[in-house]
Structure 1
Amino acid sequence: MPFADELIGTPAVRALVASLHVAAPKARLTRLRAAEAALGPLSLRERSDLLRDALLEDLPGDYASLAAVMRTAAAEAPTFTGWLIWPVTSAIAVKAVSDGGPKAFDDALALLAELTPRLTAEFALRVLLNHDLDRALAKISGWTASDNHDVRRLASEGTRPMLPWAVRVPAILASPKSTLPILDALYQDESEYVRRSVANHLNDLSRREPDLVVETASAWLAAPGADPPATTRLVRHALRTLVKQGHPGALALLGFTPARVDVTGPLLVSDTVLIGDALAFTASIRNLAPEPARLAIDYVVHHRKANGGSTTKTFKLTTQVVPPGETYELTREHSFRLITTRRYHPGPHALELQINGVRSGRADFNLLAE
């Protein structure tokens, strides 16, 4: 499996050159051909930006001429697909904005929808959203009725407040309700692919507007639908961050009410662990209530920071229904394997359980350098 940066590599550049040779045989594509040698040290997004800029230089002219070339490539070049589409859609969006006219803007939105089945146009869409949010959202809302599930997903994914790898759209962050009509139109979509995007979009919103998200999710669960279990799964995924944060409204909506429990632990197998190894721990949770207890059981790791302070991260453990008077025993390991998205700093750390949003117990340990 290729590294992320290799998704836009030499094969993608050569496929793009071949596609454009079919669509614009007189174009020399000098910058695009030269870009192949410059990919090495660049990240995935930087590679896309490099090819975008090369396309804009190699294909001068107005927006209409660029769009015509790309539509011809889509119709006639079999190699015009995959990760090369990212810089293509970005070039389309940038050219439309630089032309400055509503006709180019609207056509660029239409062209992104045409190309998104080849590779998602969600990143390029941000350029248009930042240029004219209201005009873009008016057009994007129509995509929710598309026959193509990739286009419907683009409506949700491309407008996410915190879309990974993508530039932010400050106007969406400032107006969190602006994208709710899109989500309302799609949360009962027949495609799991689309519904998953809706859940991730709502989860993004929860980081800034938790009460609005709980209100929205509550309305969805109460509304009639063809597949209530699908809506329940969507809401559970959308509220995952709020559940980890112990938000009372999100927990209650998912059936996790305050629990009467007696907790023993977490108990650590060892109070030291090497970076690269795993920390094993156990715990016992006894239900003291006369009725079954539905428990969302998570754990919180207090990581040491480079400056000596600490930061917390909550990890999902399990969901359990514990009968009255009975005890649930758990045994888990937390990995400190080196990964690219987290740096570990040796020194004091701690671990806590979190049950239905309430933290319980604390076990200290030392993380040691390899």
Structure 2
Amino acid sequence: MSEPFKNLINPARIREAGHHLARVWPAFDRRRFEKLALAQLDTLELKARAMQIADALEATLPEEFSQAADIIEAALGPAGEGDELGFATSDAGLAGWICWSLGEFVARQGHKHPKRAFAALHALTQRFSAEFAIRPLLLQHPELGYQTLEQWTRDPSAHVRRLASEGSRPRLPWGLQLKPLIADPTPSLPLLRALQDDASAYVRRSVANHLNDIGKDHPEHVADWLDAHLPDAGKERRALLRHASRSLIKQGHPRILAAWGLGAPFKGEAALTITPKRVRIGGEVVLTLSLTSRARNAQTLAIDYLVHYIKANGQSSPKVFKGWQLTLAPGETRVLTKKHSLRVITTRVYYPGVQRVEVQVNGKVVAEAEFVLQR
């Protein structure tokens, strides 16, 4: 059985933090810090653990923020190099998941000293990621924040450059939503222009996810971006833009599909079968899709499927899943299969009943079938 995710922050990490903070600031009350940080730790999930450690830091680090930030920076280990992601605390200093709590302390205590706070996050993000911690500061100090991020797009560290994009994502998972950017994403667009051809794949992946976030609220912005940046794109930029387009492709957005040569309706016949017809929660079904072209020319097809899951109130809610991408020759018949898991996961609750499945090709539904989900 795999280790619980929450144990990424554990008593050993807390004691390491106490050791390194006391190493650089002998007046640090390590015993009190560890007592507060370890209190009922086993009962807490990951984020709650990080927040409790931040509470302990607030209770034991100096009230003067600049001094506290100096101590935190002095306790850090060497900065990560390149796209390195294996951050971990060592004898040299702190790194890895404990830095989530250090960043949270900076976010809470640094709002009255934003320049010093941004400087501390510049250091922290090179040992973990400050993508959560920077977001309250961007809301409280947007002008200074975006000026700082613009400077960071030229930083030698890929981790800092990535933070310019990841920290300003409108809908970062687990992170505080940046509602002003959800309403109007234009302040972050210069950052993405500066970073979309970055030498680091780590940075480019963040840009793609940022654009995908924007597309959830402003699909036309992403369509305009493709019009401007796709025609002369090299291999790496094309890959970034394709990843940025993934949600809108699934939704069948006409301009996005057209930009990728996927706008033409499917010409042919499609049939979907599902086996078994009845399945218990925790099992799986097999989708079999048969496509026969009736076109005179080859067809480039983006194929996804929608499962209309039954909800608690008996209504259904569609969830889009990635299917296939292929080119179908004139007159060709292609049979495609995919297993679809109904394993219980934390982000979805299954309810028994008839579950409808639709297949869409280039954004248009071409076939459907049903299966019965049982307890």
Q: Report the TM-score when normalising by structure 2.
A: 0.93
Map of 2:172 onto structure 1: 163
1:37, CA displacement in angstroms? 3.0
Instruction: Give unmatched runs, 5+ long, in structure 1.
Output: none
C-alpha distance in 2, partners of 1:319/1:235? 16
Select the residue among 326, 343, 363 that pairs with 1:320.
326
Pairwise mapping of residues 1-370 of structure 1 onto structure 2 (< 5 A)? 2-29=3-30, 30-74=32-76, 78-97=92-111, 100=112, 104-223=113-232, 228-369=234-375
1:294, CA displacement in angstroms? 0.2
Instruction: Give unmatched runs, 5+ long, in structure 2.
Output: 79-90
C-alpha distance in 1, partners of 2:4/2:92? 24
Aligned-pair identity in percent equals 37
1:260, CA displacement in angstroms? 3.6
- Give the letter for the 1:73 counterpart: A
Greater share of residues in helix: 1
C-alpha distance in 1, partners of 2:139/2:34? 27
Cα contact 2:134–2:167 (8 A) shared by 1: yes
Q: Which piece of structure 1 moves more, 354-363 or 22-31?
A: 22-31
Q: Which piece of structure 1 moves more, 249-258 or 30-39?
A: 30-39
- Give the letter for the 1:45 counterpart: K
C-alpha distance in 1, partners of 2:305/2:210? 25
Q: Which piece of structure 1 moves more, 44-53 or 305-314?
A: 44-53
1:75, CA displacement in angstroms? 6.4
Map of 2:83 onto structure 1: none
C-alpha distance in 1, partners of 2:317/2:154? 43
1:44, CA displacement in angstroms? 1.6
Q: Which segments of structure 1 move beyond 3 Å, counting only runs of 4 or more? A: none
Q: Report the TM-score when normalising by structure 1.
A: 0.94
- Give the letter for the 2:11 counterpart: T
Cα contact 1:133–1:171 (8 A) shared by 2: no
Cα contact 1:255–1:294 (8 A) shared by 2: yes
1:338, CA displacement in angstroms? 1.4
Cα contact 2:354–2:373 (8 A) shared by 1: yes
Cα contact 1:259–1:293 (8 A) shared by 2: no
1:94-122: per-residue Cα shift (whole Å, max 9, x none)?
1111xx2xxx2112111211121110011
C-alpha distance in 2, partners of 1:260/1:368? 34
C-alpha distance in 1, partners of 2:41/2:229? 46
